Amino acid sequence: MDTKQIDEHQPKSIIKTFQPPQLETLDDLLDYAYMQKEQQNTSQALITLNRALELYADNDYAPFIIIEMSNILKSKGAYDEAIRIYNKGQSLPVVQKNSHLHQEFVNTIAYLRILKNTLLSHGLSLYPFEQIPLAIRQEIDSEFLYWRLNTK
């Protein structure tokens, strides 16, 4: 196995060619992805989580893979991609069977859209979630609450 680490600033073509080790079990894939995340190798973590999702879409843990992928993307300010991941997650069998979980995915997509649009209105696209100023977070939360109250 090639243990060379991929720098997040290398050209995208190099990152896209990264292949995680030939891990097959869900536990092994998740352990590897979490290790990569801890080492700040977020592209490798996302690729590995995506592989886990492809192999185990029918598993009850699949929604948590979506959540983890979205959290990584939010930490990079990649809100469009996080929305795309949640949209994909709505088609997971476990989400389709659970109306409460499906509604949580819908709510999260709405929150991410509000977050993205609010950041854009402040000229802050691709702004990491953890660095959003408190005043803007309050604006996002207020807008989301308004949305929630008007969609019931």
- Let me know: does 148 contact 111? Beta carbons within 8 Å: no
- Let me know: does 45 contact 36? Beta carbons within 8 Å: yes
Q: Which residue has the tokens 């991410």?
A: 112
Per-residue pLDDT 10s for the chain (152 aa) are 333 343 443 334 333 445 556 778 999 999 999 999 999 999 999 999 999 999 999 999 999 999 999 999 999 999 999 999 999 999 999 999 999 999 999 999 999 999 999 999 999 988 999 999 999 999 999 999 999 999 97
Q: What are 56's two structure tokens?
A: 């185990």
- Let me know: does 89 contact 105? Beta carbons within 8 Å: yes
Q: At what angle do helices 62-75 and 79-89 cross, to 10 degrees?
A: 170
Dmax (CA) for the chain in angstroms is 53
Sign (positive or negative) of CA dihedral 74, 130, 107, 66: positive
- How does DSSP assign 121-134, residue by residue? HTT-TT--GGG--H
What does CATH list as the number for 12-149? 1.25.40
